[in-house]
């Protein structure tokens, strides 16, 4: 089976160093390193993590070195982010979250992985992002936690019954 292409939100990197989210976050990155997931890393994510602790930056470097799809900050990404903010999916204060969704949407990611339950991993938010995507002739977006992604991978690794 083809590896999933997953856009990684900044919260997943920090999750590796948070007791509550550590196990599934590390499991997610192990799946990346095993080639089960193709990580999508945006220039926006790299910029956000520039001020993060060294251990977070080290993890980012390891994932980039292992191979990823790099997503530049293109004008159409900024336009889609603006559309999300204009539609009040998120406020301007959280435009960075909208920027991650715009990157993933335009890259046609299979999913976005995040621990941000307020602005991203939230059915109402996902629906609102997708309303804007449909209005702008863009693909739908799926936003999941690392634990959810690992569960999907486990199910796809199981032998199929006849």
Tell me the domain boundaries of the chain: 4-154
Arithmetic mean of pLDDT over the chain? 93
Give the whole-angstrom CA distance, residue 140 versus residue 130: 5
| Cβ neighbours of 18 (radius 10 Å) | 11
Query: pLDDT digits over 67-119, tens only?
Result: 899 999 999 999 999 999 999 999 999 999 999 999 999 999 999 999 999 99
Give the whole-angstrom CA distance, residue 72 versus residue 69: 10
Measured CA to CA in angstroms, residue 28 lies from 6, 135, 150 at distances of: 10, 32, 6
| Percent of the chain predicted with pLDDT > 70 | 96
Amino acid 158: pLDDT: 56
Query: pLDDT digits over 27-38, tens only?
Result: 999 999 999 999
Task: Taking residues 42-57, report their average pLDDT.
Answer: 94
Give the whole-angstrom CA distance, residue 160 versus residue 117: 33
Give the whole-angstrom CA distance, residue 28 versus residue 156: 15
Would you tell me which CATH number, out of the four given (3.30.70.2860, 3.40.250.10, 3.40.190.10, 3.40.50.1010), belongs to the domain 4-154?
A: 3.40.50.1010
> Residue 161: which pLDDT band, with cuts at 50, 70 and 90?
low
Amino acid 12: pLDDT: 97
Amino acid 155: pLDDT: 83
27: left (phi over 0), alpha (psi -120 to 50) or beta: alpha
Query: pLDDT digits over 6-26, tens only?
Result: 999 999 999 999 999 999 999
- pTM over 0.85? The answer is yes
Amino acid 156: pLDDT: 72
């Amino acid at each position: 089976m083809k590896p999933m292409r997953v856009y990684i939100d900044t919260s997943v990197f920090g999750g590796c160093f948070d007791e509550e989210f550590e196990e599934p976050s590390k499991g997610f990155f192990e799946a990346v390193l095993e080639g089960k997931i193709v990580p999508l890393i945006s220039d926006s994510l790299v910029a956000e993590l520039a001020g993060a602790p060294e251990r977070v930056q080290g993890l980012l470097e390891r994932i980039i070195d292992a191979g990823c799809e790099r997503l530049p900050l293109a004008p159409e990404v900024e336009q889609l982010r603006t559309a999300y903010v204009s539609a009040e999916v998120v406020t301007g204060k959280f435009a960075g979250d909208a920027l991650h969704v715009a990157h993933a949407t335009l890259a046609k990611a299979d999913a976005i992985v995040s621990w941000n339950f307020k602005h991203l991993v939230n059915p109402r938010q996902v629906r609102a992002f997708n309303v804007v995507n449909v209005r702008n002739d863009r693909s739908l977006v799926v936003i999941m936690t690392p634990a959810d992604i690992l569960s999907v991978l486990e199910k796809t690794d199981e032998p199929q019954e006849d």
